[in-house]
Amino acid sequence: MSPEELIARRTGRRCLPLPSNRLGLYLALRHWTSPGQRLLMSPISADEILFLVLAAGLLPVIAPLSRRDGNLDLSRTDLSSVDAVLTTNLYGLPDPVAGLAGKVVIEDVAHALETTVGGRPLGTFGQAGVFSLSKHAGAGSGGVLAVESGADLKALERARDRLLLPGAFAADLAAVGASIARHAVTTLELVRPALRLVRALGLVEPRQGYRIPLRERELKSALAAGSALRGRASQGSSLTDPPDDRLADPLAALDSWIRADLHHYRSRYGRLSRRYQAHRLGRVPRDRAARLAGIAMLAELPSVAPAVLDNLDQPLFRVPLLVSERDPAIAELERHGVATGYLYDPPFDDYAAAFTEASPYPGDARWWARHVLPVNPLRAHRAWEVLKGLSPAPSPAR
């Protein structure tokens, strides 16, 4: 069974296969919004998400953040001031989707493949749910876009095909090989030497702290070029039906930002990758019991984010702890063979102030970004000796 068939079985929706979650988010944003519109989004998410929003010509309106889960705080948000909402479902904890009825909602379900709300899978509440096959499944590549309407699916498929770049068997083989190697490193408990090797070889994307360099002047020029390209390519606002869209490449201007850590995010994958993605996705249910056991173990820590205690039945991608000395803890975990990733610090409105509308309540997001330590529940036992000695982060002043 293909990855899209497996996601369709879970969601009951029509599903489109993609080379990455990134391309799916861009397609959904271009399909359901128009350039110039205001998009509410979390201050805490992956770098490339912000650049995808900018590439779609939207204004990122940064939402207040909930200290309970690191997601949108709707109690302090004026939804009437925005045209659409992009959820994050950080580490698998669900955004407050029930409070978004009546809005255009694009669900980023990369971290929340198995999360449900009221028994209903995330990815089925908004106009679109965009899944990743490289998180829970660990396939290293691939994504699926889930939608309700057959007409939307056909339009999005046409749009996808206009943006796909040719693939190559060598790239397929490299992607599958890299994923297999990552799993072998974890299984054989070689994380620490593997981290030293990839850093020594320069295989890690250059970063300033936990974000890729913004290159503000270059980004402004790229956005201006992208805006001019959209104007020439189409008199409309949708990617799916403009008369001359085949002559344009709306992602090209921001490609060097969007592709960080995944340079083949819009390359067409072949049979080898597709089979491997389906294989990895099919294995996800086997890890459910172990994942839940790790979550229950980590939930005993005084530093665990409060919302985890409300979601002990959800097989989260990571368990967020909020600790006093986060960076020394990361170094100590590495010495114990446990890698830490998926850190998004600083918040978007500090990282890219010139390109966003700042949150009216930035303090909670800054506190969360500085103190959160996401832990893989499947590695809870190996990390336990370090984690149990960590002090909870002091509550932020309001």
All residues at 6 or more sequence positions from 201 whose CB lies less than 8 Å from its CB, including other chains: none
Q: What is the DSSP string of 59-110?
A: EEEEPPB-TTTSSB-GGG--GGG-SEEEE--GGGPPP-GGGGTTSEEEEE-T
Residue-wise pLDDT for 153-174, tens only, equals 999 999 999 999 998 777 788 7
Q: Residue 105: its pLDDT value, please?
A: 98
Out of 180, 209, 238, a domain closes at 209
Residue 140 forms part of a structural domain: no
350 found inside a domain = yes
CA angle 257/47/104 to nearest 5° reads: 105
Q: Do the domain assignments include residue 58?
A: no
Residue 52 has pLDDT above 80, yes or no: yes
Q: What is the mean pLDDT of residues 181-201?
A: 59
- pLDDT higher than 70, residue 200: no
Residue 107 — very low, low, confident or very high, per pLDDT cuts 50/70/90?
Answer: very high
Residue 325, in any domain of the structure: yes
Alpha carbons 82 and 80: distance in angstroms, whole number = 6
Domain boundary among 154, 180, 209: 209
Q: What is the pTM of this model?
A: 0.92
* Residue 227: pLDDT band with limits 50, 70, 90: confident
Q: How confident is the model at residue 192 (pLDDT cuts 50, 70, 90)?
A: low
Residue 246 — very low, low, confident or very high, per pLDDT cuts 50/70/90?
very low
Mean pLDDT of 289-314: 98
CA gyration radius, the chain: 20
pLDDT category of residue 187 using cuts at 50, 70 and 90: low
Say how many domains are in the chain.
2
Give the pLDDT confidence score for residue 244 in this predicted structure. 44
Task: Answer yes or no: is 71 within a domain.
Answer: no
Q: Final residue of a domain: which of 184, 209, 234?
A: 209
When pLDDT is cut at 50, 70 and 90, the band that residue 245 belongs to is very low
User: Among the listed ranges 66-80, 110-124, 221-235, which one has the minimum average pLDDT value?
Assistant: 221-235
Q: What is the mean pLDDT of the segment spanning 17-24?
A: 97
What value does the mean pLDDT take over residues 226-242? 61
Q: Mean pLDDT check: name the lowest of 78-92, 200-214, 247-261, 358-372.
A: 200-214
379 lies in a domain? yes
Q: What is the pLDDT of residues 270-284, one digit of tens each?
A: 889 999 999 999 999
Number of CB atoms found within 10 A of residue 298's CB: 24
pLDDT in the model for residue 283: 94
CA distance 378 to 370: 24
- Contact 58/275 with Cβ under 8 angstroms? no
For residue 267, being part of any structural domain is answered with: no
What size, in residues, is the chain?
398
Task: With beta carbons less than 8 A apart as the criterion, state whether 39 and 30 touch.
Answer: no
Q: What is the pLDDT of residue 186?
A: 65
What CATH code is carried by the domain that includes residue 320?
Answer: 3.90.1150.10
Within this chain, do residues 205 and 297 fall inside the same structural domain, yes or no?
Answer: no
Q: pLDDT band at 176, cuts 50/70/90?
A: confident
> Domain residues for 334?
287-387
pLDDT at 236 exceeding the cut of 60: no
> Would you state the pLDDT for residue 396?
79
pLDDT at 228 (0 to 100):
78
Look over the chain and give the mean of its residue pLDDT values, rounded to a whole number: 91
What pLDDT shows up at residue 76?
A: 97
Q: What was the pLDDT predicted at 26?
A: 98
- Please check whether residue 272 lies inside any domain of the structure: no
| Residue 102: exposure state from Cβ atoms within 10 A (0-12, 13-18, ≥19) | exposed
Which amino acid belongs to residue 75?
Answer: S
